[in-house]
Amino acid sequence: MEVTNEKFSRRKFLTSTGTLAAGLAIGGGLFAGGCSSNGGSTKTATAPKWPWPYQKLDPEVVRKKGYEGWYEAACSYGAFNAIISELRDKIGDPYTTFPVDMFRFGEGGVAGWSSLCGTLLGSSAAINLVSGKESYSQLINELMGYYSETTFPTNKHDEYAKIQGQAQSVSGSPLCHVSVTNWCKASGKKSFSPDRDDRCAKLTGDVAAYAVELLNKQADGKFTSAFTLSSVVQTCRSCHDKGGQLENTRGMMDCVQCHEPHNQ
């Protein structure tokens, strides 16, 4: 074989091989479903049709799993995993394929921003996954109302919780910031204390358990919407929401928690 004297630098060699590797990677991705190593065709995996199947769950089992899940990866993961892990055990596929760790992002109201409470993020995602477009919003609306109006944490964790008999509070809002602050005021505890940790662990279990109660009612064909907006919120919306004189906002949260009433 004839060897030429043409110079071929190490940089050119690496550039050439890198380009080749990238091309092979792209080609492999494009044709991953086209053929197998023995020359035959292969099938491309398809996602299961939404909504996914549901079987009734025990709310108390989910409540405990939610509590424990908070200590593993906080509120959003704890609520979602509590529901999905039970469905995985009861149904198997497709729940065996779901990467529940993706819901770690919701910790502390989305990466610590204290926006929508992570318990609602995780539980609402689970509701949406199994309910479908015809009913998911009704169930989630009910969950949001329950969260805003209920005294938390419940005492249903005291048998296994690290801290028993904690102070309780009503958030009046689905926001992490408001929920935590109101509880800290009621309890006299700090927002980064072990007591607040355990409170949020219990809250995670409570919200996930209620989400399962709603899903179980839906499975039995017995779910009915019960949550209604307060008269204060309805008054605010009559001017500021769709069709109102101003129509400059939208939403269903309690307005006067943050805004002074000005309709008198």
- Cβ-based burial of 25 (10 A; exposed 0-12, middle 13-18, buried ≥19): exposed
Q: Could you tell me where the DSSP H helices lie in the chain? A: 10-30, 59-91, 118-131, 136-149, 176-187, 194-219, 231-240
Model confidence over 74-85: pLDDT tens digits? Answer: 999 999 999 999
Which region among 63-72, 122-131, 139-148, 234-243 has the lowest average model confidence (pLDDT)? 234-243
Q: What is the pTM of this model?
A: 0.81
- Cβ-based burial of 188 (10 A; exposed 0-12, middle 13-18, buried ≥19): exposed
Model confidence over 75-120: pLDDT tens digits? Answer: 999 999 999 999 999 999 999 999 999 999 999 999 999 999 999 9
174 dihedral zone (left: phi>0; alpha: psi -120 to 50; beta)? alpha
Domain boundaries, the chain: 59-219, 228-264
For the chain, give the percent of residues with pLDDT over 70. Answer: 82
| Mean per-residue pLDDT of the chain | 86
CA distances from 134 to 94, 205, 219, 244 (A): 21, 26, 14, 27
Quickly count helices (H) and strands (E) in the chain. 7, 2
Please check whether residue 54 is in contact with residue 182, taking contact to mean a CB–CB distance below 8 angstroms. no
Please check whether residue 131 is in contact with residue 215, taking contact to mean a CB–CB distance below 8 angstroms. yes
Q: What is the pLDDT of residue 264?
A: 58
Within 13 Å, how many C-alpha atoms sit on residue 202's CB side? 27
Model confidence over 19-65: pLDDT tens digits? Answer: 434 443 434 443 344 444 455 555 666 878 999 999 999 999 999 99
Q: What is the pLDDT of residue 60?
A: 98
What number of other Cβ atoms are within 10 A of residue 148's Cβ?
23
Please check whether residue 257 is in contact with residue 178, taking contact to mean a CB–CB distance below 8 angstroms. yes
- Cβ-based burial of 187 (10 A; exposed 0-12, middle 13-18, buried ≥19): middle
What number of other Cβ atoms are within 10 A of residue 169's Cβ?
19
Identify whether 48 is preceded by a cis peptide bond (ω within 30 of 0): no
Tokens for 101, please give them: 């760790």
pLDDT above 50 for 15 = no
Beta bridge partners of 169: 152
Higher pLDDT, 163 or 243: 163
